[in-house]
Structure 1
Amino acid sequence: MTARSEAVAAASWWALRLAEPSHQNVGHPDANTLLAALANTNARAYTPDQVEAYRVALTARIEAHLAQSEWSLAEPIFGSEVRCLYNDYSLDPVLTEAAATAGIEVGVADLPLKTVMWIDPGKVSVRSGYGSEVETVWDWRWPWPPTTPATGANGHPEPDQSQLGNISDTPPTPPAG
């Protein structure tokens, strides 16, 4: 079974954050500094093979999670609260189960804190860090890759893994008319 594009995009976003830990935003500059120091002291280094194993396991786990939720292109927001993934005071079970399947240990500090991701039909969005803006990770209207999109099983363009996290946060302007 081929995973839907939304699952691939969501899993790739989390895996990229695991591969390249970034600045944490928990809402206060002193707390951010302390967290960065602790993360550097206790940082886990993941190999590219571990990150890829996590991405593959997470894609499958997200796909299974989505299969249990309401999924309607006509009403993409309906059921969104069930399809969200988070890392706040604990990791979402979907994220920890994928790590176990991949044979790695992933903790709260290994991924961006105060983060929630919504996986909706045709769109994946994330708020990464306390008080941050919601970013669109993937939208079915965006050409992916920009030159020749390959169409997935659901009729949406398939994301190019090398471009995740580097795409514009602004969706294209709809045609006038």
Structure 2
Amino acid sequence: MSKHYGPRVPQNLPLVCTCAHVRSEHDDVCSGRDSYGLACECLSFEIDRYWSGLDSERTPPRPEAVAAADWWALQLAQPPVHGIGAQEQSDFANAATAVSRKPKTPEQIDDFRVALAEMIERKLSKRPEDWRPDNPSWASAFRTIAGDYRPAQELETAAEQAGFQLKMFDVPMKTVMWINPGIVRVAVGHGGIDEVVWQEAQ
């Protein structure tokens, strides 16, 4: 699922943005679109994969969707620590993870990240009336990604689109993510305290 975000750049030009156009929220690189949503005409800019393959009729993932996908991709890049209740059970899960978990390649993780961001955006777009920046927690139950002993369905589907199968030990068990306007929170493990993993700059 190799994607290119923004207009094509000649290979002999540096991939460094020299424009003053819109920057993407997740890593402050050129989004490939100007303030009117038109394609950036800079001769050189840094590629932003979240804009790859998006035509004028499709909406790119909003910053909240990108941040959520980034967090889950990070979990794939490192062995998760499971907290599933009793210490003995958690120790067993972590030991099993160390033995059976197969590392993912950077390409797989990146493809997973892109697929998940687009999937989350579609999920959020299904209930536009519930996306209220003035009341971020409104209807947040409809914007969760939650897994128990099995990864959330959204994660499994994104992994399939990236060309691999997500196993129970690949991401933290009993984890819930809330994706709300301007803020993304996660509670990791059984009884975990929800923490802010991304917040829109004020």
Give TM class, smaller chain: 0.7 to 0.9
**Which blocks of at least 5 consecutive residues in structure 1 are unaligned?**
143-177
**Whole-angstrom CA distance in 1 between matches of 2:106 and 2:201:** 30
Name the residue aligned to 1:105.
165
Aligned-residue offset at 1:141: 3.1
Name the residue aligned to 1:158.
none
Out of 38, 61, 67, the position equivalent to 2:119 is 61
Alignment of 1:67-146 (within 5 A): 67-69=125-127, 70-141=130-201
Whether 1:49 aligns to 2:107 is yes
**SS of match in other structure, 1:116:** strand
Aligned-residue offset at 1:98: 0.8
The percent of aligned pairs where both chains have the same amino acid is: 38
Aligned-residue offset at 1:40: 1.6
Aligned-residue offset at 1:33: 1.2
Contact 1:87/1:108 (8 A) holds in 2: no
CA-atom RMSD in angstroms: 1.2
**SS of match in other structure, 1:81:** helix
**SS of match in other structure, 1:82:** helix
| Larger RCO (CA under 8 A, 6+ residues apart) | 1
Q: How many residue pairs get matched?
A: 142
Q: TM-score, normalised by structure 1?
A: 0.76
Displacement over 4 Å in runs of 4+: none
Q: TM-score, normalised by structure 2?
A: 0.67
Task: Name the aligned partner's letter for residue 81 of structure 1.
Answer: A
**Whole-angstrom CA distance in 1 between matches of 2:177 and 2:168:** 15
Aligned-residue offset at 1:109: 1.6
Tell me the alpha carbon deviations over residues 136-168 of structure 1, each in whole angstroms, 9 at most, x when there is no partner.
0111136xxxxxxxxxxxxxxxxxxxxxxxxxx
Whether 1:32 aligns to 2:85 is no
**Whole-angstrom CA distance in 2 between matches of 1:80 and 1:65:** 12
Task: Name the aligned partner's letter for residue 16 of structure 1.
Answer: L
**SS of match in other structure, 1:111:** coil
Aligned-residue offset at 1:38: 1.1
Task: Tell me which structure has the larger Cα radius of gyration.
Answer: 2
